[in-house]
Amino acid sequence: MVFWGFILAVAGLLTVLVSFLSSLNIFSDISAYGFSAWIGAFFAPEFITGKKIAFFIAVVLFVVGVICFFVGRARAKKTGMTDAKTDKSVKFLRDLKGEFKKITWPTFPAVVRNTGVTLVLCIILGLIICLIDLGLGALIDLVLSLG
């Protein structure tokens, strides 16, 4: 129940965001009419569109998903049984945190030195490529002028 509640909540939230962002022109009249008039117009039956219906369905899915998630978590704690997928996710996050602690981050002078070396090598390689291009271009001109 926890897993499916999470899936429903995420799917509902993503659908709400997509629906909201794709319908911003619906929401742009707030400044013209005022918030209370806009709310009244938004819920008015004569202005119900397919996008608004999808928006409301997504909101309901999100709310149901959140409720299922928390009810499932409460039942799992009460019975002492945990979901295998939840256990794997928690273990993955703990392992990830442990791996981040093992990372040796470079110091600022090392970052500056490595950045300088990278930039110098990019410039040198750019010059080499330009010289090869000029040489091949001159060779092609020579061949074309002979023929």
Per-residue pLDDT of the chain (147 residues; tens, 9 = 90+): 667 777 777 787 787 777 766 655 555 555 666 666 666 666 666 666 777 777 777 888 888 888 887 887 777 777 776 666 667 777 888 898 999 999 998 999 999 999 999 999 999 999 999 999 999 999 999 999 986
Kindly state whether residues 81 and 110 are assigned to the same domain: no
Full residue range of the structural domain in which residue 74 is found: 2-86
- 15 located within any domain: yes
**Residue ranges with strand state E in 28-131:** none
Q: End of a domain among 36, 56, 86?
A: 86
Kindly state whether residues 27 and 76 are assigned to the same domain: yes
Q: End of a domain among 63, 86, 109?
A: 86
- 75 located within any domain: yes
- Alpha-carbon span 84 to 89, nearest angstrom: 9
What's the whole-model pTM score?
0.42
**Residue ranges with strand state E in the chain:** none
- Alpha-carbon span 98 to 92, nearest angstrom: 10
